[in-house]
Chains A and B, each alone.
Chain A
Amino acid sequence: MKITDIVIRAGRSLKQAKARTLLTSLAIGVGAFTIVLSLAIGAGGRDYASNIITSNTNPQELFVQPKADANNDPTKPQKYTEGPSATYGNYSVKLLSQSDVDKITTLDGVESVTPIYSVKVQYITTEGQDKYQVSLRSFNDGVKLDYLAGNSENISTNNGILMTDTYLSSLGFSDASAAMGKKVQIAVNKSSNLAGIPESKIFEFTVIGVVKSPALAASPLSGMQIYKDDIKAIYDYSQKGTAMYGEYQGAIALAKNGADVKVVKNNIDNAGYEAQTAEDLMSFIFNFINVLQAILIGFGVLAVLTSVFGIINTQYISVLERTQQIGLMKALGMRRRDVGRLFKLEAAWVGFLGGAIGSGLAVIAGTIGNPFISKALNLGNTNLIVFEPLSVLAVVVGLIIVSVTAGIAPARKAAKLNPIEALRTE
């Protein structure tokens, strides 16, 4: 018998038992729905995460820290090591000193190294306005910024500051262009002072650009940006004379243009430090998404597993019901193999239907749900559910294979049927 004829006959048999076929397929459909949707959420989540990475970090940057002892057991007392350290509760972290920074600068593939100056400022204000908390960070030209006005061109020369749009109305500006060229004052506290005699200094900056607080940014307060020398000046004022001056929690190493970040990371690691690329830093997001996705897929697989027994059961009943038909086909010379194929293909049809129904519903649900999810999570134009045609196809094909596998035992029973027994009517 030709395979096309078997496919058609298989499809026809299923059509003759519509309710049963549909119900069995729906069982698989539930699994298909879950799996397709979780794959789409995973894909969308990863897109979202890599968006976060590119809008928050420069891929050529590496975050460098002193090496932590990998064998450290945090539940036991820690060994004391010489050198500067920062203490958090009873846990202390080693710090980078200026000599470390200099050493890293000389490493192969490293363009420049900027220590992370932990700058704490008191407030930002402008004439006639209230004082607001603010965080400052060093300007990084590798990070994508969305300018509402101005640009970063003169940031190094003019005491320029890139303001985030969320501060506009608070500081009394009607819109982005109104803020351009205006002066803002930032007050910094001198930490080395003896308690009780506060001393602070006002640093004045000129707004040279207003940037949109990125929709995908991890922190809503992602700070205003000033040139790294300005950051250092504030740091020097605020920290000089304290024990922690010149000791950094970490540093940002910039890999040379064209240098492979991973190679640079190795160089730094080999020199006795620990470097993390932007991707490493964000990998926890990917891990989180992957775990979430795996759990969802797990539920889908469970649903499919349950439906497998449904298919086996349905197919066994079908073989019993059609004993005479099978007997007739074998009497007419249909080969065992073809009889088996007929039933396996019926199972394949069930799998295909279930896969198509489930993934179809998933695509519809995802497409309808996307705008609502984006709105609820404030993602702007980003879709959190992204269907990849290839993975949908893979799910459907996978379910067909699963169904055929489930149909093997009933198909074998049909193939083995003795035609004489089957055609005995009394």
Chain B
Amino acid sequence: MIEVTNLVKTYGKKDNTFNAVDDVTFSIPTGKSVAILGKSGSGKSTLMHIMSGLDKPTSGSILIDGKDILSLKQKDIDSFRSKKMSFIFQSFFVQAKESCYDNVSLPLEIAKISYSRRKKMIEAALAAVDMSEKINAKAGELSGGQKQRLAVARAIVNSPKILFADEPTGNLDSVTGGMVENLLFNYSKENNVTLIIVTHDADLAKRCEIQIHLKDGKIDSTRGII
């Protein structure tokens, strides 16, 4: 359960302020897929950053499973993120010069998973995205779709509770994009993982159980919120 209450994020000073996120309140039950929709500048990315603890709001609160993440110290937020959350980005951010294995290994190293347990987890994650045979290939040699699948493997390897995806199909053609979408939705369903997709793609948003439309930082309309 993610509860967002009266969230405000203000940029600028004195007379020159504007609210990127303006008094946003909603809650997302665990295991749901959520689309945060909006044009660029609507505040959807800022909202995602705040929800994941990467950014601090000006006011408001975020409770994740009853825990106020804004009251945590930086190192506890980091630790929370490494254990409970994961990210998928539009531009993949895979390390081109590293092997697929090492790319997927990074979140496990950050979460201090012991060396002996890592290998199995990495192999399982790569198998889940159908990339097992690429385990030793350099990430730079992969196609765009494969890179994003690798990024998905990296995101799910440590069994997160919340998966943030920022325009996950924005850099992909419709076929490979569809594959990645399927991967994400299936993973979310099968593992009861909350999937939060930030997008301006209405078709992708339709596949989500909950849709939150943002306009100028405010919630314009919602669908599916109970």
Contact = CB atoms under 8 A, between A and B. Distances in A.
A36 B154 CA distance: 46
Interface in B106-158: 106-107, 109-112
B87 A1 contact: no
A332 interface: yes
A327 to B, nearest CB: 8
B25 to A, nearest CB: 23
A303 B112 CA distance: 40
B54 A329 contact: no
Interface centre among B79, B89, B110 (most CB of A within 10 A): B110
Given A330-B78, A332-B82, 6 more contacts: A1-B112, A324-B93, A332-B106, A333-B111, A334-B82, A335-B79
Given A2-B109, A9-B109, A420-B49, A331 B83 contact: no
A157 B89 CA distance: 102
B74 interface: yes
A331 B86 CA distance: 8
Contacts of A325: 93, 95
A425 B106 CA distance: 21
A419 B54 contact: yes
Interface in B76-94: 78-83, 85-87, 89-91, 93
Given A16-B97, A423-B89, A335 B106 contact: no
Interface residues of B, number: 29
Contacts of A336: 74, 78
A252 B206 CA distance: 107
B83 A423 contact: no
B74 A331 contact: no
A328 interface: yes
A144 interface: no
22 contacts: A1-B110, A2-B112, A16-B98, A324-B93, A327-B93, A328-B93, A328-B106, A329-B110, A331-B81, A332-B81, A332-B86, A332-B87, A332-B110, A333-B78, A333-B79, A333-B81, A333-B85, A336-B74, A336-B78, A420-B55, A423-B93, A425-B90
A12 interface: yes
Given A420-B49, A420-B54, A334 B110 contact: yes
A73 interface: no
A94 to B, nearest CB: 78
Interface in A291-323: none
A141 interface: no
Interface of B: 49, 52, 54-55, 74-75, 78-83, 85-87, 89-91, 93, 95, 97-98, 102, 106-107, 109-112
Contacts of B90: 425
A344 B78 CA distance: 20
A333 B74 contact: no
A69 interface: no
Nearest to B94: A328
A325 B81 CA distance: 17
Contacts of B98: 12, 16
B97 A334 contact: no
Contact of A332 (B49, B75, B107): B107
Contact of A12 (B75, B89, B102): B102
**The 5 A-B residue pairs with the shortest CB-CB distance in the complex, in nearest-first order:** A333-B82, A333-B81, A5-B109, A16-B97, A328-B93
A423 B111 CA distance: 21
A354 B68 CA distance: 49
Contacts of B78: 330, 333-336
Contacts of B52: 331
A288 to B, nearest CB: 53
Contacts of B55: 420
B44 to A, nearest CB: 13
B75 A335 contact: yes
Nearest to A8: B109
A9 B99 CA distance: 12
Contacts of A1: 109-110, 112
Contacts of B83: 333
Contacts of B81: 331-333
A16 B96 CA distance: 10
Interface in A49-88: none
